[in-house]
Structure 1
Amino acid sequence: MRNFYKRLNIKRTLTDGQALGAARECPNKALRDDADFVFSSKTRKAAYDNLNDTLVTIGRLRPSLGLSHTDKWSGEIAAEYTDPSYQDKPLLPDLMNRLDRASKKKAAREKEEAQKKGWIWWPIIIFGLFGYFIYVDSQSSSSSSYQPKDTFAQKHQAHSFPYNGKVVNLTRRDAVAPFQIKTQAGQDYVIKLKTLSERDAVIVYVHGGRTVNVDVPMGRYKLYYASGDTWYGNTHLFGPDTAYSKSDSQFNFQLQGNQYMGYTVSLYRVSNGNMNTRSIPRESF
């Protein structure tokens, strides 16, 4: 793993937009592409920052404790994250103090939240049955809708998005026709090809800002796609923030002569584009 902040010579405290801008100005193409892929997604950047911060701390702690390199801390990671300048610094007491402060802040937050929850009961007691009926009515009116984002995130765990270009063929037919998909950075995508009878035929997972080239079975399909930045699995997709869309076009993957004919789809606005899309409800996806 590489420390993008170190290699790009930028501060860890930069905003997401500033870090992405610095990555895109890097003259090294390989480093630029890799850093752009991580920094262009809030989910990927948050996961990277969490691991990167941990490795930075370990790289400072090891020399401060006089630990030498071992087979468990060697190679690229050791070279990238070991910080010899901390060899004579008493880092362990500082870490203990930081943990203690974090623990106290957490306890204070929990106490404050408990106090706030305690106050909620007062209007219910004062208004009696009237308050009860309001509560029941508000619960029943929202039961059919999707959960609010904060509530949903508390009940469901985010997962790593499937690898870029993963294809699920549900037709049991050979995938032979070319299908190129181009996406815009900032969100990941789940693309569905459905038969004209609305049966799922092919599912493709595409990372934001990437282009994939896959093969699909011959046939006439409708195209649907969902997008978002936090993946909760195939059941909930990107949670309450999932955007669902459908193309108005039909796609006929076929054999002409001795050549399989396919399509290139760009899931963002392009000049002289010939594919119209529209938003659809979650149930239609």
Structure 2
Amino acid sequence: MSKTVVCPNCFQKNIVPDSVNNYLPACRKCNEDLSLVKSDNKKNYGSWFDNIVLAIRLVALGVAIWYLSTSGFLGYISSLIKDESETSKVSIVLQEMSPLMNGTIDLYTNQPRVAPLEIETSGSGYYLVKLVTTGTDDIVMTIFIHAGQSLTTEVPLGSYDIKYASGEKWYGYEDLFGAETEYSKANSVFYFQDTGYQISGYNITLYQVTNGNLSTSEISASEF
């Protein structure tokens, strides 16, 4: 068995066998005579010293934090981080693209297009119309239309919700019309059916404001 004796001169911890009672060896670091160390200090001095050192470090840390906060240094660092974040946001600039041709269609189904759909528009800018299957929200087709022009086309049979995005500048299918994009959804479900006698279709009018012959509601970008 052994015990630990802390040197009072350099605070070096020395491991001494229990068999050494009457005479303690010298400190292995500074050669201080350890025989003068009292027995109670032999057991407790190292723990006491460690606690004192820990307390001094905690006090120093508290003082440093207090000084940095009162001197405005932390606020300065925070402002630098904020400015860097704002700079990163500003650096993201959308690249305007040439608008698609009026009547450009992207089809997402193999079903034949047989039901008539006529779309009229007004105002300025452009529209991207989206037909999605009612209930599942699966995209069936999209139609790009120039404001102030009309379009007659055919769509597959089925029941659809009609959504559309509008804006003045085209940035592509991912960014649509940028931050100024307006999103709308028709309040009615459109049933394109073959009754056996005729195939039903629709004529709708789009406006950048919610009026005209199509009752719509504003939606968010995530709902489009």
Report the TM-score, using the length of structure 1 for normalisation.
0.48
What does residue 35 of structure 1 align with?
none
1:132 aligns to 2:77 (yes or no): yes
CA shift at 1:134, angstroms?
4.2
What does residue 141 of structure 2 align with?
202
Q: Is the 8 A contact 1:187 1:227 kept in 2?
A: yes
Task: Output the CA distance in 2 between the equivalents of 1:225 and 1:135.
Answer: 41
Which of 215, 224, 229 is the aligned partner of 2:168?
229
Cα separation, partners in 2 of 1:138 and 1:262, compared to 1, 3 Å: farther
Task: Output the CA distance in 2 between the equivalents of 1:166 and 1:199.
Answer: 19
Task: Output the CA distance in 2 between the equivalents of 1:212 and 1:283.
Answer: 27
CA shift at 1:128, angstroms?
3.5
- Identity among equivalent positions (%) equals 34
Report the TM-score, using the length of structure 2 for normalisation.
0.60
Matches for 1:36-51 after TM superposition, within 5 Å = none
Cα separation, partners in 2 of 1:281 and 1:135, compared to 1, 3 Å: farther
> Which contiguous aligned blocks of 4+ residues in structure 1 show a shift greater than 3 angstroms?
134-141
CA shift at 1:136, angstroms?
3.9
Task: Output the CA distance in 1 between the equivalents of 2:106 and 2:85.
Answer: 38
1:184 aligns to 2:122 (yes or no): yes
SS of 1:260 mapped into structure 2: coil
Q: Is the 8 A contact 1:227 1:242 kept in 2?
A: yes
SS of 2:179 mapped into structure 1: helix
Matches for 1:58-69 after TM superposition, within 5 Å = none
Counterpart residue identity of residue 186, structure 1: S
Q: Is the 8 A contact 1:185 1:210 kept in 2?
A: no
SS of 1:131 mapped into structure 2: helix
Ranges in structure 2 where 5+ consecutive residues have no aligned partner: 1-70
Task: Output the CA distance in 1 between the equivalents of 2:173 and 2:102.
Answer: 15
Cα separation, partners in 2 of 1:140 and 1:195, compared to 1, 3 Å: farther
1:265 aligns to 2:210 (yes or no): no
CA shift at 1:156, angstroms?
2.5
What does residue 96 of structure 1 align with?
none
Cα separation, partners in 2 of 1:241 and 1:174, compared to 1, 3 Å: same
* Greater fraction of residues in strand: 2
CA shift at 1:276, angstroms?
1.9
Matches for 1:45-124 after TM superposition, within 5 Å = none
Q: Which has the larger radius of gyration?
A: 2
Ranges in structure 1 where 5+ consecutive residues have no aligned partner: 1-125
Task: Output the CA distance in 1 between the equivalents of 2:116 and 2:143.
Answer: 13
CA shift at 1:256, angstroms?
2.0
